[in-house]
């Protein structure tokens, strides 16, 4: 039926732990972890290799929440939204609670997506086939509307900065006709693919933050919290009371974003977070450090794991960048994944399900219990922590494209950009979301319009498209109302 | 260093083998068998490295750049295979870095010629200069052509199973029979697919005239996964890709939307039943058109001659290694003979191939025309 | 209708986005200006000062200069030595020159750089910047970048 043994369990533990390390290091991702270990799996049989690689995948996606919550630096792009509520919690001394909420959410997300993979693969892959470039363009557009919801009372500035992010992401060579735009000629040899996401991300978050605190003289300190004093900030599973809908909705959003090939994994947590805010009973609290936000973000990014395997195993095309690397693990063993893979390799299929289950359990055990000690990182004085973080960020940036100094310069440049954004009140997170989604937005737009011979009507003629348009309209309307309310509240506060 | 990690993994295996014995569970003992296999393989791997791995690069880290950012394409697969065997043969720690074509060219032109940086790439190396994707400073003249390492003959065309054609010849016939129809080909610009498509287009233009040729349309862009999706959406009629990637969609039992036929490989693919472009009768310059992706090592211009000779000797040995041949065959790649691998022969071959490509590119109409 | 011409299609999206940005910028200026007029201020105000009052000049500009120096030196000296030097300097910049603090700074710099270098450069085999001070232990087959 399936393969499991002591060896498999050991490599799973190894994979999950190493994955968590890669995920937690800003600039290193699950994708990189899987790519690093790929050549070594050659020595194994396919099944053992899958235990190792899936462990790295699950660990890598989850590990990102640790620095996101503790030091406001997302370890991976998909944990950006975790910082929104995680860091405020950590700042007020509830870091451990936030981490545990994140870990439990990740586990739930992973398990729900596993069930989806196990039971609904044919259904979901059939649905994915109905999404052509038109629907994908609209989904990306929908994800972009999140910017409006995130900008807390200064919507126009947020949207402006979001589109600025889109514009910056388009710098470089357009892959279809191999032509450069918006790149000075002396940088063309370095910027064929534009700025890399990871250095931009850690620059905007980590380096900008270091500049801000350097300006203030590094005086920032987190007060040690007395355990007894703050028992209401202790984690308990009651934190999940009333979160059932949120968990399931976010896991579903994550899984489905995973199922859609070519829609990046970071879109999952962005969308899930926005939906949590839209449906919340107290949307104004999201972003101030409430469990709801962490639950949405972390459930969805782990929901991605099972989802991204669905098109890989049922159609032969990867659901995200990590599963794209996983394909090679199969190819190294001389196996092609495709539409008949599951029927022709039932044992491997069962093994994948068991491995994913094991990975999620191991991930939970490896993180939930030791996290108490890891959460103490927050008490290390910033003056001592930041130099090491700078070094780690440099390693991460350098490794983004397997070793380019240019990416380290990108890191510094966007550190300064992020710092300046803070000064002129442009929300950096909006810029980043625009930057993440920009290339896909262009790609699917051009694909759709080329296929329709230039007619824009193509975006309005498909039933799934109408549904997404409705969601977009609702999302924007909601954002406008929310923005007004926030402004009013602020004025009342001032008055 | 890979060995430390490998030994770490081997240690986990050893532990599990021990545990397997003591626990004696059915599944544990079944997994103990491969564990034993691989840990012995790891120690074997170290042994020949001590014997024949005596190059001047022994113990050094070697960066193997590839002209692709993907770790699942043929570029990565071949480079990884060659790297694994060369590392053993020359005793270095090679690591494949998937940096992409532009970065790879930039790095190799500016690297030191000590052999610690090597580019293993296919014809994209010189085609990207010919197509103007990268600047003239990356021309072959500014680097050293090293030994060739292997071929991927598997580039081919594919169409939805229900389409009225199952070969390029039938596509031409379809266009002749239906004077109002067009057939769209999804290719990538500046790559092998662009070239093979151009060869077909020129052949149709030559044999059937401009009118028929003008109804062959190009759709540009995309990875293999994106091209497949275009085909499934029926936004492209014919797509270009690798036989190994397409084969699974041609089998019985695949649902109708995904089902494909594949035809007209650019070269003969051993072990795959498919007619080649040459079989269809496609010619270029009077010769049957045959085009494999030729993978070759490239070094910086001021390459150390001794190290280059070491690479040459090692690659010749690797080509005769039965394990290497088996691994290549598993992925449908062609192994070269030691004579073909020699640096002089290799240089001659690559320069000649560049000339052929230049002729095709010069004659082919621009993509503005082909996509309009 | 948008006509997609192969050789110029790379400008379609940037032009759309630039157009949107111009409109948004105008909207930002007008709405914020109007809001100011409503509350009795002039339509345009002079931007406030960039740095906070009495900002820590040494730490801010020191961070920037050390960062630039760090990146420049990476390729020359190799990762490990460069990191030891600059993590040490960053520590001095942030904590001061007291004897005890200098020693702690040195320990942090050496230990963290070596751990990172060994973990990523040696064990995980990730390419790190190499330079003059990178050492290859040929007999053991590994390199400290």
Asked if the model's pLDDT at residue B20 lies above 60, the reply is no
Give the pLDDT of residue A355.
94
Asked if the model's pLDDT at residue A92 lies above 90, the reply is no
Q: Coil, helix or strand for C95?
A: helix
% of chain B beyond a pLDDT of 70: 86
Give the pLDDT of residue A410.
95
Spatial CA neighbour of A320 closest among A248, A253, A268:
A268
Query: How large is the average pLDDT for residues B218-223?
Result: 86
In total, how many domains does chain C have? Answer: 2
Residue of B nearest to A338 (CA): B248
Cα–Cα distances (Å) from A378 to A67, A85, A90, B330, in that order, read 9, 16, 8, 51
Q: Average the pLDDT over each of A107-111, A430-434, A467-471, C1-5 and give the range with the smallest value.
A: C1-5
Give the pLDDT of residue A210.
92
Spatial CA neighbour of C21 closest among A313, A492, A130, A170:
A170
Q: What is the 3-state secondary structure (H, E, C) of chain A?
A: CCCCCHHHHHHHHHHHHHHHHHHHCCCCCHHHHHHHHHHHHHHCCHHHHHHHHHHHHHHHHHHCHHHHHHHCCCCCHHHHHHHHHHHHHHHCCCHHHHHHHHHHHHHHHHHHHHHHHHHHHHHHHHHHHCCCHHHHHHHHHHHHCHHHHHCCCCHHHHHHHHHHHHHHHCCEEECCCCEEECCCHHHCCCCCCCCCHHHHHHHHHHHHHHHHHHHCCCCCCCCCCCCCCCHHHCCCHHHHCCCHHHHHHHHHHHHHHHHCCCCCCHHHHHHHHHHHHHHCCCHHHCCCCCHHHHHHHHHHHHHHHHHHHHHHHHCCCCCCHHHHHHHHHHHHCCCCCCCCHHHHCHHHHHHHHHHHHHHHHHHHHHHHCCHHHHHHHHHCCHHHHHHHHHHHHHHHHHHCCCCCHHHHHHHHHHHHHHHHHHHCCCCHHHHHHHHHHHHHHHHHHHHHHHHCCCCHHHHHCCHHHHHHHHHHHHHHHHHHHHHHHHHHHHHHHHC
A449 touches chain C (CB under 8 A): yes
Q: Report the residue from A262, A336, A341 with minimal CB separation from B226.
A: A262
Calculate the CA B336 to chain-centre distance.
Answer: 14
Q: Coil, helix or strand for B40?
A: helix
Residues of chain C contacting residue B4, judged by C-beta atoms under 8 Å apart? 122-123, 142
| B204 touches B216 (CB < 8 A) | yes
Dihedral pair phi/psi, residue A173, rounded to 5°:
-95, 135
> pLDDT digit string (tens) for B281-292?
999 988 999 999
Spatial CA neighbour of A47 closest among A96, A110, A97, A5:
A5
Contacts of A309 (CB under 8 A, 6+ apart): A117, A258, A319, A323, A326, A352, A356
| A392 touches A25 (CB < 8 A) | yes
| C83 touches C116 (CB < 8 A) | yes
What is the distance in angstroms between the Cα of A381 and the nearest Cα belonging to chain C? 10
> pLDDT digit string (tens) for A373-412?
888 887 888 888 999 999 999 999 998 888 889 999 999 9
Give the pLDDT of residue B24.
32
Of C11, C31, C48, the position where a domain reaches its end is C48
Both structure tokens of A126: 């059939």
Chains with ≥3 CB–CB distances under 8 Å to B: A, C
> CB count, 10 Å around CB of C92?
18
Is the CB of A398 less than 8 angstroms away from the CB of C125? no
> pLDDT digit string (tens) for A287-333?
888 999 999 999 999 999 999 999 999 988 888 888 888 888 888 77
Q: How far apart, in whole angstroms, are the C-alpha atoms of residue A276 and residue A281? A: 10
Q: Give me the CATH code for the B155-290+367-371 domain, please.
A: 3.40.190.10
Both structure tokens of C119: 């973990």
Give the pLDDT of residue A421.
93
Q: In the 8-state DSSP scheme, what is residue B365? A: P
For residues C64 and C30, membership in a common domain is answered with no
C85 touches chain A (CB under 8 A): no
List, by residue range, all CATH 3.40.190.10 domains of chain B. Answer: 155-290+367-371
- The residue ranking higher by pLDDT, B29 or B340, is B340
Q: Give me the CATH code for the B5-153+295-363 domain, please.
A: 3.40.190.150
Q: How far apart, in whole angstroms, are the C-alpha atoms of residue C51 and residue C62? A: 15
Assign 3-state DSSP to chain C and report helix, strand, coil percentages, each to 5: 65, 5, 30
For residues C70 and C128, membership in a common domain is answered with yes
For residues C70 and C135, membership in a common domain is answered with yes
pLDDT band at B296 (very low <50, low <70, confident <90, very high): very high
| Domain extent for C66 | 57-145
> pLDDT digit string (tens) for C63-88?
999 999 999 999 899 999 999 999 99
Q: How far apart, in whole angstroms, are the C-alpha atoms of residue A380 and residue A360? A: 30
Spatial CA neighbour of A443 closest among B74, B230, B195, B184:
B230
Report the alpha-carbon angle A229-A236-A272, nearest 5. Answer: 115
For residues C81 and C25, membership in a common domain is answered with no
Residues of chain B contacting residue A340, judged by C-beta atoms under 8 Å apart? 248, 251, 253-254
Q: In the 8-state DSSP scheme, what is residue B141? A: G
| B130 touches B294 (CB < 8 A) | no
Dihedral pair phi/psi, residue B296, rounded to 5°:
-150, 155
For residues C7 and C73, membership in a common domain is answered with no
Query: How large is the average pLDDT for residues A237-261?
Result: 88
**What are the strands, taking DSSP E only, across B37-187?**
61-66, 93-98, 117-121, 143-152, 155-160, 183-187
pLDDT band at A234 (very low <50, low <70, confident <90, very high): confident
Q: In the block, which residue shows the tokens 């059939």?
A: A126
For residues C33 and C72, membership in a common domain is answered with no
Q: Coil, helix or strand for B158?
A: strand
Q: Average the pLDDT over each of A159-163, A277-281, A413-417 and give the range with the smallest value.
A: A277-281
% of chain A beyond a pLDDT of 70: 97
A177 touches chain C (CB under 8 A): yes
Residue B255 burial by Cβ neighbours in a 10 Å radius (0-12, 13-18, 19+): middle
A48 touches chain B (CB under 8 A): yes
For residues C75 and C143, membership in a common domain is answered with yes
Pairing state of beta strands B216-220 and B183-187? parallel
ipTM over 0.90: yes
Residue C48 burial by Cβ neighbours in a 10 Å radius (0-12, 13-18, 19+): exposed
B31 touches chain A (CB under 8 A): yes
Give the pLDDT of residue A218.
78
pLDDT band at B172 (very low <50, low <70, confident <90, very high): very high
What is the distance in angstroms between the Cα of A335 and the nearest Cα belonging to chain B? 9
Spatial CA neighbour of A229 closest among A101, A104, A379, A92:
A92
List, by residue range, all CATH 3.40.190.150 domains of chain B. Answer: 5-153+295-363
Average pLDDT, whole number, for chain A? 88
| Burial annotation B204-243 (CB, 10 A radius, 16+ → b, else e) | bbeeeeeebbbbbbbbbbbbbbbbbbbbbbebbbbbbbbb
Q: How far apart, in whole angstroms, are the C-alpha atoms of residue C124 and residue C117? A: 10
Both structure tokens of B115: 């052999």
Cα–Cα distances (Å) from A423 to A141, A199, A494, in that order, read 28, 21, 22
B3 touches chain C (CB under 8 A): yes
Q: How far apart, in whole angstroms, are the C-alpha atoms of residue A55 and residue A76? A: 16
A413 touches chain C (CB under 8 A): no
pLDDT band at B33 (very low <50, low <70, confident <90, very high): very low
Inter-axis angle of helices A463-494 and A155-169, nearest 10:
130
Asked if the model's pLDDT at residue B40 lies above 80, the reply is no
For residues C35 and C88, membership in a common domain is answered with no
**Which candidate in C125, C139, C144 is best for mutational testing of the B interface (most B CBs within 10 A)?**
C125
Give the pLDDT of residue B142.
94
Asked if the model's pLDDT at residue A457 lies above 60, the reply is yes
Q: How far apart, in whole angstroms, are the C-alpha atoms of residue B202 and residue C114? A: 59
Residue of C nearest to A402 (CA): C127
Contacts of A492 (CB under 8 A, 6+ apart): none
Could you report how far apart the first and last alpha carbons of chain A are, in Å? 69
Asked if the model's pLDDT at residue B3 lies above 60, the reply is no
Residue of C nearest to B116 (CA): C130
Q: Report the residue from B1, B220, B367 with minimal CB separation from C122.
A: B1
For residues C63 and C20, membership in a common domain is answered with no
pLDDT band at B8 (very low <50, low <70, confident <90, very high): low
| Residue A325: CA count within 13 A, CB half-sphere | 22
> pLDDT digit string (tens) for A346-367?
999 999 999 999 999 999 999 9
pLDDT band at B10 (very low <50, low <70, confident <90, very high): low
Q: How far apart, in whole angstroms, are the C-alpha atoms of residue C113 and residue B355? A: 50
> pLDDT digit string (tens) for B44-77?
333 333 346 677 888 888 999 998 888 878 899 8
Instruction: A452-457: list long-range contacts, CB under 8 Å, 24+ apart.
Output: A454/C1, A454/C2, A454/C3, A454/C4, A455/C1, A456/C1, A456/C2
Q: How far apart, in whole angstroms, are the C-alpha atoms of residue A289 and residue A72? A: 12
Which bin fits A114, alpha (ψ -120 to 50), beta or left (φ > 0)? Answer: alpha
> pLDDT digit string (tens) for A139-194?
889 888 888 877 777 888 999 999 999 999 999 988 888 888 998 888 888 888 88
**What are the strands, taking DSSP E only, across B77-129?**
93-98, 117-121
Dihedral pair phi/psi, residue B187, rounded to 5°:
-130, 175
C6 touches chain A (CB under 8 A): yes
C56 touches chain A (CB under 8 A): yes
Asked if the model's pLDDT at residue B43 lies above 70, the reply is no
pLDDT band at A99 (very low <50, low <70, confident <90, very high): very high
Pairing state of beta strands B143-152 and B117-121? unpaired
């Amino acid at each position: 039926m399936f393969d499991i043994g002591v060896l498999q369990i050991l490599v799973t533990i190894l994979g999950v732990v190493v994955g968590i390390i890669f995920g937690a290091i800003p600039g290193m991702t699950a994708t990189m972890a899987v790519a690093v270990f790929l050549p070594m799996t050659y020595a194994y049989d396919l099944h053992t290799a899958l235990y190792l690689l899936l462990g790295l995948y699950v660990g890598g996606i989850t590990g990102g929440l640790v620095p996101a919550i503790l030091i406001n630096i997302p370890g991976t792009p998909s944990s950006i939204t975790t910082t929104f509520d995680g860091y405020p919690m950590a700042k007020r001394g509830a870091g451990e609670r936030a981490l545990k909420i994140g870990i439990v959410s990740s586990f739930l997300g992973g398990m729900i997506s596993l069930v989806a993979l196990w039971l609904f693969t044919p259904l979901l892959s059939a649905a994915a086939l109905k999404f052509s470039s038109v629907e994908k363009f609209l989904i990306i557009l929908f994800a972009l509307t999140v910017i409006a919801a995130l900008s807390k009372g200064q919507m126009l500035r947020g949207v402006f900065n979001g589109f600025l992010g889109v514009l910056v992401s388009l710098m470089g060579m357009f892959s279809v006709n191999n032509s450069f735009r918006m790149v000075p000629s002396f940088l063309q040899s370095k910027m064929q693919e534009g700025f890399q996401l990871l250095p931009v991300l850690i620059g905007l978050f980590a380096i900008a933050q270091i500049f801000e605190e350097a300006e203030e003289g590094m005086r920032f300190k987190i007060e040690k919290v007395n355990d007894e004093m703050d028992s209401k900030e202790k984690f308990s599973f009651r934190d999940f009371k009333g979160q059932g809908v949120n968990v399931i909705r976010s896991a579903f959003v994550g899984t489905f974003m995973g199922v859609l090939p070519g829609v990046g994994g970071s879109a999952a947590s962005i969308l899930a977070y926005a939906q949590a805010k839209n449906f919340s009973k107290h949307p104004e609290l999201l972003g101030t450090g409430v469990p709801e936000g962490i639950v949405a973000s972390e459930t969805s990014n782990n929901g991605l794991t099972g989802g991204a395997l669905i098109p890989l195993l049922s159609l032969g095309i990867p659901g995200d960048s990590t599963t794209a690397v996983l394909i090679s693990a199969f190819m190294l063993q001389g196996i092609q994944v495709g539409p008949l893979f599951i029927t022709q390799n039932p044992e491997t299929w069962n093994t994948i399900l068991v491995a994913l289950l094991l990975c999620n359990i191991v991930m939970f055990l490896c993180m939930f219990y030791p996290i108490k000690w890891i959460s103490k990182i927050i008490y290390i004085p910033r003056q001592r922590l930041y130099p090491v973080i700078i070094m780690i960020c440099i390693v991460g940036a350098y490794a983004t494209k397997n070793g380019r100094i240019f990416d380290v310069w990108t890191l510094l440049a966007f550190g300064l950009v992020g710092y300046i954004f803070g000064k002129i009140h442009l929300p950096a997170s909006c810029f980043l979301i625009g930057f993440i989604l920009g290339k896909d937005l262009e790609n699917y737009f051009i694909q759709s319009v080329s296929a329709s011979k230039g007619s824009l009507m193509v975006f309005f003629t498909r039933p799934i498209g109408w549904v997404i348009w409705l969601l977009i309209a609702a999302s924007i309307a909601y954002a406008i109302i929310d923005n007004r309310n926030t402004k009013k509240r602020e004025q009342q506060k001032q008055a | 260093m890979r060995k430390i990690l490998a030994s770490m993994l081997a240690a986990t295996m050893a532990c599990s083998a021990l545990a397997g014995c003591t626990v004696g569970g059915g599944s544990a003992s079944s997994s103990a068998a491969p564990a034993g296999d691989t840990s012995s393989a790891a120690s074997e791997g170290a042994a020949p490295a001590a014997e024949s791995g005596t190059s001047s690069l022994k113990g050094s880290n070697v960066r193997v750049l590839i002209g692709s950012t993907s770790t699942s394409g043929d570029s990565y697969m071949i480079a990884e295979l060659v790297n694994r065997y060369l590392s053993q043969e020359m005793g270095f720690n090679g690591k494949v870095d998937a940096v992409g074509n532009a970065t790879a060219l930039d790095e190799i032109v500016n690297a030191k010629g000590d052999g610690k940086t090597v580019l293993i790439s296919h014809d994209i190396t010189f085609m990207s200069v010919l197509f103007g994707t990268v600047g003239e400073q990356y021309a072959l003249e500014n680097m050293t052509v090293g030994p060739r390492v292997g071929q991927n003959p598997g580039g081919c065309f594919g169409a939805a199973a229900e389409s009225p054609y199952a070969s390029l010849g039938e596509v031409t016939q379809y266009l002749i029979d239906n004077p109002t129809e067009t057939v769209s080909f999804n290719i990538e610009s500046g790559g092998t697919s662009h070239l093979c498509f151009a060869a077909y287009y020129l052949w149709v233009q030559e044999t059937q005239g401009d009118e028929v040729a003008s109804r062959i349309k190009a759709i540009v862009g995309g990875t293999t996964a994106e091209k497949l999706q275009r085909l499934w959406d029926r936004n492209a009629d014919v797509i270009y890709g690798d036989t190994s990637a397409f084969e699974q969609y041609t089998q019985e039992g695949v649902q109708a939307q995904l089902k494909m036929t594949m035809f007209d490989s650019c070269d003969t693919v051993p072990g795959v039943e498919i007619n080649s472009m040459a079989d269809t009768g496609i010619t270029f310059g009077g010769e049957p058109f045959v085009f494999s992706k030729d993978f070759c090592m490239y070094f910086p211009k001021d390459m150390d001659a001794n190290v280059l000779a070491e690479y040459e000797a090692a690659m010749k040995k690797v080509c005769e290694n039965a394990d290497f041949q088996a691994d290549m065959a598993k992925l449908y790649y062609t192994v070269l003979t030691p004579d073909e691998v020699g640096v002089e022969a290799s240089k001659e071959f690559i320069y000649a191939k560049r000339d052929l490509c230049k002729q095709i590119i010069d004659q082919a109409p621009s993509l503005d025309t082909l996509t309009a | 209708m948008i006509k997609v011409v192969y050789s110029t299609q790379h400008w379609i999206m940037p032009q759309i986005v630039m157009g949107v940005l111009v409109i948004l910028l105008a909207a930002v200026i007008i709405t914020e200006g109007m809001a100011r007029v409503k509350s009795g201020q002039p339509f345009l105000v002079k931007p406030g000062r960039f740095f906070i009052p009495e900002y820590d000049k040494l730490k801010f500009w020191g961070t920037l200069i050390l960062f630039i120096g760090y990146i420049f030196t990476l390729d020359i000296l190799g990762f490990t030595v460069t990191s030891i030097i600059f993590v040490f300097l960053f520590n001095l910049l942030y904590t001061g020159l007291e004897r005890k603090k200098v020693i702690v700074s040195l320990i942090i710099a050496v230990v963290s750089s070596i751990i990172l270098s060994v973990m990523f450069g040696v064990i995980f085999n990730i390419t790190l910047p190499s330079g003059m001070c990178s050492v290859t232990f040929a007999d053991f087959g590994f390199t400290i970048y």
